[in-house]
Structure 1
Amino acid sequence: MSTATRHDTIRPSAGPRTPHPGTGALTASRVFVGRSMRHSMRDGEGLFIAVLLPVMLMLLFTIVFGGEIDPGGNFVGYVDFVVPGIIVLCSGFGASSVAVSVNRDVTGGAMRRFRSLPIPAATCLVGHVAASVVRNLLATAIVVGVALILGFRPTAAPLEYLAAGALVFAWVIAITVVFAAIGLLASSPEAANGYGFIILFLPYLSPAFVPLDSLPGWLQPFAAAQPVSPLIEAVRALLFGTDPGLAPWFALAWCLGIVVVGGALIVWRFPRG
C-alpha cells in the first residue's frame, strides 16, 4: 500500500467566504429602521410640529380665508377643495426632517462609522427613509381626521380611496428620497433645512389653495407643469368621484422620476460622503 505524498493531499477549494451573520441587507435595514424609529419616538416635538403646521394652515385657510374663496365646481365648501393640498403639504413638512437627520449623521461622523461596518452601504439610509414614511403617514392620518371634524366630506368609492391613498404614498416616498439626497449634499444641518424649506413652497404655487385659472397668467404655466399640481388635482378628483383624466399618470410619472433622480444623487454622493 503506497504512502500518499504531500502532492496527493486534498485541499479545500478557496470558495467565497460565508458572510458574517447579521450583515445581510435585510438584517442591517431592520437595525437601521429600528434606530431611526427610536429617534423619531424620542423626538416628539418634531412629530408635533409636522402635524401642527399643516393643521394650522388648514384652519387659517378654511376659517379665516375660506369665506372669501369660492372654489366652484362640485365642492360643497372650501374645506373640500383645500384638504388635498394640505395633505400634500403635510407630507413635505414631515419629510423635511430627513434632510437634517441624514446630514447630522454625515457631519457628525456616524455615517463614516457605519460605512466601516461589514454591511451594505445603502442600508445606512434605509432607516431614515422608512421612519420618515411612517411618520408622514401618521401625520397625514391626523390631518385628515381634523379635516373631517371641520366638515371635510369626500364622496369617493372604495377603489378611488385606494387610488388616492396610493398616490399620496408614492409622493411621500418620492419627497423623502429627495430630502435624503439633500441631507447628503448639504454642508451642514442648517443648510439642509434651508434647502428643504425651498421645496416646501411648491404647494403654494399650485392649485392647492385656489383654482389654477385664478393665478396670475404668467404663473399658470409653471403652476400647471410642476410635480405637485397633477398630484393635487388627481387626489382631489379621486376623493370626490370626478374624472381625474391623465392627472394620476402624470403624478405617478413625476414620483417615479423624482425617485430615480434622488436615488442617482444618493448613489453618486454617498461613496464620497
Structure 2
Amino acid sequence: MSVVDVADAGGAVADRGRVYWLLSDCWNVVRRGLTHYQRQPINIAWQLGFPILSVLLYGYVFGSAMTVPGGGDYKDFLMPGMFVMTMAFGFINTATVVVYDSTKGVIDRFRSMPMAPSAVVAGRGITDLVVACAELGIMMLTAFAMGWRPEGGPGFVAAFGLLLWLRFSLIWLGVWLGLIAPNPEAAGGLFAVAFPLTMISSIFVAPQLMPDWLGFVAAWNPISSTAAAARDLFGTPVGDGDSWVEGHALLMAGVWPAVLTLIFLPLAVRRFQKLSR
C-alpha cells in the first residue's frame, strides 16, 4: 500500500470519527432536553394550556358567531389553525430554554468541552421537534373530543409534515433570539410579538372577511399559508381569496419555512460560534 493510500485511509477514518462524535454530541443534547421534560412534565402542560383554552374559547364561546367562507362548521375551520398556532408559539419556548441555559452557564460549559457548535444547536432543534410531535398529538386528541374529524390517508400525513416543517423553521428563530436575549424575562416578552402575528392571520378568521388592508397582511403572513394548506390536506378547505398567495397556499407552506430556515439557521450557528470569541 502506498503512502497516498495510507493517508487517504487515515483521512476517511478521521472523517468518520468527526461524524460519529457530531452525532454523539447531538444525541447527548437531545437526551438532556428530553430528560428535563420527563422530570418536569408541567412544562408541556404549560405550553399546551393557552392553545387548548383558545380552542375552547373560540370553538364554544365565539364559534356560533363566526362565519366561514363557503359555509361549513367553524370548528372544522378552527382546528387546523390552532395546530398552526401551537407550532408558531413554540419558538418562544425555544428562546426561553436557550437563554436560560446561557444565563445559567450551561452554554459556557458546552463551549468549554470539545463539542461541535452545530451539534448543540441541532440537538436543541431535534428536542423541540420531538416535543412538537407530542404537542400535536395532544392537540389532535382534544380536537377529536370536540368532534373534529379530518380526512385520513396521505393528506393527513402531509398536513402533519407541514406543521412540523413550520415548527422546524421557527426553532432556529427561537435559538437565535435566545442567544441574543439578555435574560429569560426578555425571551418571555416575545409573546407580545407572537400574539399579534398569529391573530393577524387566517388562524381564526379568513382574510377575505377582514378589511382589505388587514386581509392583505394576513394573507401574506407565512402562518396563514400553512393554515390554509393544512385545511386543504385535512379535508376542510375554505374558498380561496383573491390574492396569489392564497391560491397557492400549499406551495407557500413549503417555501416560507424554507426561507426562514435559510435565514435563521446560519444566524443561530454563527451566533453560538461568536460566543467563544
TM-score for the superposition, normalised by structure 2: 0.85
Separation (CA, whole Å) in 2 of partners of 1:241 and 1:201: 25
Separation (CA, whole Å) in 1 of partners of 2:260 and 2:18: 35
Q: CA deviation at 1:18?
A: 5.9
Q: Does 1:230 align with 2:237?
A: no
Q: CA deviation at 1:72?
A: 3.7
Q: CA deviation at 1:191?
A: 0.9
State the secondary structure of the residue aligned to 1:61: helix
- Structure 2 equivalent of residue 205 of structure 1: 200
Q: Could you tell me which runs of 5 or more consecutive residues in structure 1 were left unpaired when the two chains were aligned.
A: 1-12
Letter in 2 for 1:100: T
Letter in 2 for 1:153: R
Letter in 2 for 1:116: S
- Structure 2 equivalent of residue 259 of structure 1: 261
Separation (CA, whole Å) in 2 of partners of 1:225 and 1:22: 40
Q: Which stretch of structure 1 is more off in the superposition, 34-43 or 198-207?
A: 198-207
Closer, same or farther: CA 136–18 of 1 in aligned 2, 3 Å: closer
- Structure 2 equivalent of residue 41 of structure 1: 38
Task: State the aligned residue count.
Answer: 259
Q: Could you tell me which runs of 5 or more consecutive residues in structure 2 were left unpaired when the two chains were aligned.
A: 1-6, 241-246
Q: Which has the higher helix share?
A: 2
Instruction: Quote the RMSD (CA, aligned, Å).
Output: 2.4
Separation (CA, whole Å) in 1 of partners of 2:141 and 2:219: 29
Q: Does 1:179 align with 2:174?
A: yes
Closer, same or farther: CA 131–197 of 1 in aligned 2, 3 Å: farther
Q: Which has the larger radius of gyration?
A: 1
Separation (CA, whole Å) in 1 of partners of 2:75 and 2:174: 29
Decide whether the 8 Å contact of 2:87 with 2:164 is kept in 1: no
Aligned residues: percent identity?
A: 28
Separation (CA, whole Å) in 2 of partners of 1:197 and 1:134: 26
Aligned ranges 1:1-80 → 2 under 5 Å: 24-73=21-70, 75=72, 77-80=73-76
Letter in 2 for 1:263: L
Separation (CA, whole Å) in 2 of partners of 1:255 and 1:21: 29
Q: CA deviation at 1:74?
A: 5.7
